[in-house]
Structure 1
Amino acid sequence: MLGGISIWQLLIVLGIIILVFGTKKLRNVGTDLGGAVKGFKKAMHDEEKGKEADKEDADQPHAKVSHEEPGNTYDVQAEEKQAASDRNEERK
């Protein structure tokens, strides 16, 4: 059986537990344990739905980037060259 424990020994242990804690306390523990298991199953099911939704969202773009503005760029190197040439002209 269960490692040498017979059904009669299990019934005796169960009887002692009922005498010590009482049926009302054991019923409350069972109810709490059942609620916890239900909550766990619900959370797992919701997580699976969330993963499926994430997979669907991953296929679609989140934002569209457009570069329709005219090229207004700032060239630092060109400005440094211009400043250097201006300094050279001032020295002459």
Structure 2
Amino acid sequence: MGKLSFQCRHGKAYLFRKVVNVTSGEIENRTMMTGMHTVADIFCVCCGSNVGWKYETAHEMSQKYKEGKSVLERFKNCGPDGSHYSASHDIHVAGSDADDV
């Protein structure tokens, strides 16, 4: 169940308490629009695509509510019929250094 809707660099994204069928990448510090965060990219277990990131630590007190939660970017996920939610299918963006506005 999505908790909050975000607008990130690639469009809509959603903050979840729990996600399934993903694996985590390496933990790293990133400076995002809302400050410094320790995060790990998350990847689809089926195709290996980067689908978002998980917040390990938020360094700003006002951002602590994100800790332990994951962001799934709508742009990077497929719908039930296998089609992308994004109107632009040919854009490929690596990394996930976006955050909410």
User: Is the shorter-chain TM-score for this pair beyond 0.5, marking a shared fold?
Assistant: no
Structure in which a larger fraction of residues adopt strand: 2
Structure in which a larger fraction of residues adopt helix: 1
TM-score range, shorter chain: under 0.3
Q: TM-score, normalised by structure 1?
A: 0.14
Larger Rg: 1
Q: TM-score, normalised by structure 2?
A: 0.14
